[in-house]
């Protein structure tokens, strides 16, 4: 029984290319005491991995020669731990490999009743929890608020907007294709979505938010953040979560002038999902219910097989994916 793995062949310069990755196959490992041999079902690809390749992410660097990291949903094939038994479905940060050996202590049991297995990496997983923590803990949402979110059709952005909608807010998305914008409105129920590639973002924001932005959830940084900071309403809340605009650079570009924060008496907060693990049970129950009631929709960009993972990751980092990037692992 082999374990197919994707390694980082070389540290990416700028936007990653498929040549930066390498597929290798070796015999699967044997679990020592307290370990699990697993079969990966779905692998999550997320923008923060680019920061790990640059050595800049808080979850640690991925260096040339290393296994690519990332969270996966797996089935336990063999267990030497009494925490899990064969057939259990788990989540673990086991990376881009088909048959990982996982320390039982680092695995999280999953309840497959919550929703389709792949959503446990998306709206019911880390991206969903990120959105949920931001909107319920940091955003101080009030019905009638105008909530703006960038990367609006992605798993974090689409959940941010839908949670805001379910709290009675007006939701304005920012996305980069007509198809993404249409999906956020027609499927996710956003009130409006600005296509920043065909419309000047500042003009779009002025039209969509005539009374200013009450809550801005930022997945992007860069000029998108700047434009939103210029149009904050008094007492606005800004949640800084992602930095897509700078993941592909080694530079730390400057940010918005502090005067925008003072003028709006805004509260700007940094969000890291790892701080909000305690919210997970409540989050899973509520989002699972919303999903089953049809209150929330999700979009996945799913490819088959680990060999396709580098290509999807590169599309993700070029902003060309549409929906949560997941790999269905079939090796």
Q: For residue 5, count other CB atoms closer than 10 A to its CB.
A: 20
240 within 8 A of 218, measured Cβ to Cβ: yes
Interface with a second copy, residue 278, by CB under 8 A? no
Interface with a second copy, residue 267, by CB under 8 A? yes
User: Binding-site residue total for a second copy (CB under 8 A)?
Assistant: 29
CB of 229 to a second copy, least distance (A): 9
Select 189 or 255, whichever has its Cβ closest to a second copy: 255
Interface with a second copy, residue 262, by CB under 8 A? yes
**CA torsion through residues 202, 208, 209, 213, sign:** negative
Binds a second copy (CB under 8 A): choice among 75, 269, 297, 328: 269
Taking CB under 8 A as the binding criterion, the range among 158-166, 268-276, 283-291, 318-326 that sits at the site for a second copy is: 268-276
Select 218 or 301, whichever has its Cβ closest to a second copy: 218
Select 247 or 313, whichever has its Cβ closest to a second copy: 247
**CA torsion through residues 137, 173, 301, 318, sign:** negative
Binds a second copy (CB under 8 A): choice among 272, 282, 292, 304: 272
Residues ≥6 apart with Cβ < 8 Å to 99: 1, 2, 3, 4, 28, 29, 37, 38, 39, 40, 77, 331
Interface with a second copy, residue 270, by CB under 8 A? yes
CB of 180 to a second copy, least distance (A): 23
Select 32 or 58, whichever has its Cβ closest to a second copy: 58
32 within 8 A of 105, measured Cβ to Cβ: no
**CA torsion through residues 112, 113, 114, 115, sign:** positive
Structural element, H or E, at residue 309: helix 309-317
Select 220 or 326, whichever has its Cβ closest to a second copy: 220
Burial string for 7-40 (b: 16+ CB within 10 Å, else e) reads bbeeebeeebebebbbbeeeebeebeeebbbbbb
Give the chain's radius of gyration (CA, Å): 20
Burial class (CB in 10 A: 0-12, 13-18, 19+), 81: middle
Binds a second copy (CB under 8 A): choice among 241, 287, 296, 314: 241
Select 276 or 280, whichever has its Cβ closest to a second copy: 276
Interface with a second copy, residue 258, by CB under 8 A? yes
CB of 196 to a second copy, least distance (A): 18
Interface with a second copy, residue 228, by CB under 8 A? no
Q: Residue 271: name the closest of 58, 122, 65 by CA.
A: 58
Question: At 50, is the secondary structure helix, strand, or coil?
Answer: helix
Interface with a second copy, residue 256, by CB under 8 A? yes
214 within 8 A of 171, measured Cβ to Cβ: no
Interface with a second copy, residue 129, by CB under 8 A? no
Interface with a second copy, residue 121, by CB under 8 A? no
Interface with a second copy, residue 243, by CB under 8 A? yes
Taking CB under 8 A as the binding criterion, the range among 79-87, 105-113, 142-150, 267-275 that sits at the site for a second copy is: 267-275
Select 138 or 205, whichever has its Cβ closest to a second copy: 138
Taking CB under 8 A as the binding criterion, the range among 33-41, 97-105, 262-270, 312-320 that sits at the site for a second copy is: 262-270
Q: Residue 327: name the closest of 292, 299, 300 by CA.
A: 300
Interface positions with a second copy (CB under 8 A): 58, 218, 221, 225, 240-241, 243, 246, 252-259, 261-272, 275
């Amino acid at each position: 029984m082999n374990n197919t793995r994707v390694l980082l062949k070389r540290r990416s310069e700028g936007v990653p290319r498929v040549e930066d990755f390498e597929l290798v196959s070796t015999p699967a490992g044997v679990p020592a005491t307290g370990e699990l041999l697993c079969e990966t079902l779905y692998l999550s690809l997320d923008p923060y991995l680019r920061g790990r390749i640059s050595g800049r992410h808080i979850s640690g660097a991925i260096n040339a020669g290393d296994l690519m990291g990332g969270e996966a949903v797996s089935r336990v094939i063999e267990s030497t731990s009494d925490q899990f038994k064969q057939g259990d479905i788990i989540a673990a940060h086991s990376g881009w490999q088909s048959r990982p050996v996982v320390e039982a202590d680092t695995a999280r049991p999953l309840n497959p009743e919550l929703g389709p297995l792949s959503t446990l990496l998306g709206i019911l997983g880390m991206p969903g929890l990120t959105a949920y923590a931001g909107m319920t803990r940091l955003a101080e949402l009030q019905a009638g608020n105008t909530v703006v979110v960038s990367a609006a059709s992605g798993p974090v952005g689409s959940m941010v907007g839908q949670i805001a909608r379910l709290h009675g807010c007006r939701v304005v998305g920012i996305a980069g294709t007509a198809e993404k914008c249409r999906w956020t409105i027609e499927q996710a129920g956003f009130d409006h979505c600005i296509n920043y590639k065909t419309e000047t973002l500042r003009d779009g924001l002025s039209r969509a938010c005539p009374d200013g932005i009450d809550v801005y959830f930022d997945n992007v940084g860069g000029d998108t953040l700047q434009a939103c900071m210029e149009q904050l309403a008094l007492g606005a809340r800004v949640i800084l979560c992602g930095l897509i605009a700078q993941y592909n650079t080694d530079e730390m570009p400057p940010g918005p002038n502090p005067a925008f924060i003072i003028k709006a008496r805004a509260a700007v907060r940094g969000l890291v999902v790892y701080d909000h693990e305690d919210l997970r049970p409540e989050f899973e129950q509520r989002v699972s219910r919303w999903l089953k009631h049809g209150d929330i929709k999700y979009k996945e960009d799913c490819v088959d097989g680990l060999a396709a993972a580098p290509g999807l990751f590169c599309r993700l980092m070029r902003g060309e994916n549409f929906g949560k990037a997941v790999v269905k692992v079939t090796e």
